[in-house]
Structures are given as C-alpha cells and as structure tokens.
C-alpha cells in the first residue's frame, strides 16, 4: 500500500431509535447518505462521490465505493459521513474492510 493506515477508533451510536452513528466498520450494504448533511467518498483526498450531487442513478451503497476502490486499491480511500447527530470517517484497509478512523458529534 502506498498510504498510511490510520488507527481504528471505537464506534458509537448517535440515536437509539434508528441506530445511526459511527460503527467500528462500514457494512457493505450501508447507504452512503445521511439525508440532511452529506456523505462523501474520496481517493487520496479527491472527491469521487457525494450524496449532495447524485444523479438519476441515486445514492451509492458502500459496496459501490468498494467496487471503485477494488479497481485502484493502492490509494487512500475514505467514506465520510457529515450528519446532524454524528460525523464519521472510514478508511479502506483491505478488501471489503473499511475501518472507522475518525468520529465526531455532528453539526447540530
């Protein structure tokens, strides 16, 4: 790999009703959207996908980010969620293995 693996952090749930929040790893069936806020996929800091600019095909799931990353794996791939009750950033650290590397309280 041509990038540094960041240390994992423990996840936490922001809402006990819906279960939103930062989890230890990113599930491949997770929708890359927060509704109010944004979700971004980046490669080496360059945006590849943004919830706020989706087209008629709709929002990605994490498996689509994994497909893109698998085609070019020797880069720093991240998925970042920016939501009212939480923010979370996952780094791809292996095949279908996205690890939580940063979390926060959101913007609300």
Q: Classify the C-alpha dihedral 14-28-91-94 as positive or negative.
A: positive
Q: Cβ distance 80 to 69 under 8 Å?
A: no
Closest CA to 20 of 92, 82, 64: 82
Average pLDDT, the chain: 92
Q: Which two tokens stand for residue 35?
A: 């509704």
Per-residue pLDDT, 1? 57
Query: How many other C-beta atoms can be found within 10 angstroms of the C-beta atom of residue 60?
Result: 23
Using one digit for the tens of pLDDT, what is the confidence trace for 18-31?
788 889 999 999 99
Q: Cβ distance 89 to 102 under 8 Å?
A: yes
Per-residue pLDDT, 3? 87
CA 28/CA 51 separation, integer angstroms: 16
> Quick check: 56 pLDDT over 70?
no
Per-residue pLDDT, 54? 85
> What mean pLDDT do residues 45-51 have?
96
Q: Classify the C-alpha dihedral 89-25-94-28 as positive or negative.
A: negative
Using one digit for the tens of pLDDT, what is the confidence trace for 78-98?
999 999 989 999 999 999 999
Q: Which of 8-22, 24-38, 69-83 bottoms out in mean pLDDT, i.e. has the lowest?
A: 8-22
């Amino acid at each position: 790999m041509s990038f540094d693996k960041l240390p994992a952090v423990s996840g936490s749930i922001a809402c006990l009703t819906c279960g939103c929040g930062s989890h230890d790893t990113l599930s491949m069936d997770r929708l890359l959207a927060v509704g109010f806020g944004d979700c971004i996929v980046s490669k080496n800091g360059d945006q590849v996908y943004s919830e706020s600019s989706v087209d008629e095909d709709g929002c990605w799931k994490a498996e689509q980010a994994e497909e893109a990353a698998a085609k070019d794996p020797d880069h720093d791939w991240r998925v970042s969620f920016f939501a009212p009750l939480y923010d979370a950033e996952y780094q791809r650290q292996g095949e279908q293995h996205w690890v939580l590397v940063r979390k926060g309280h959101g913007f609300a």
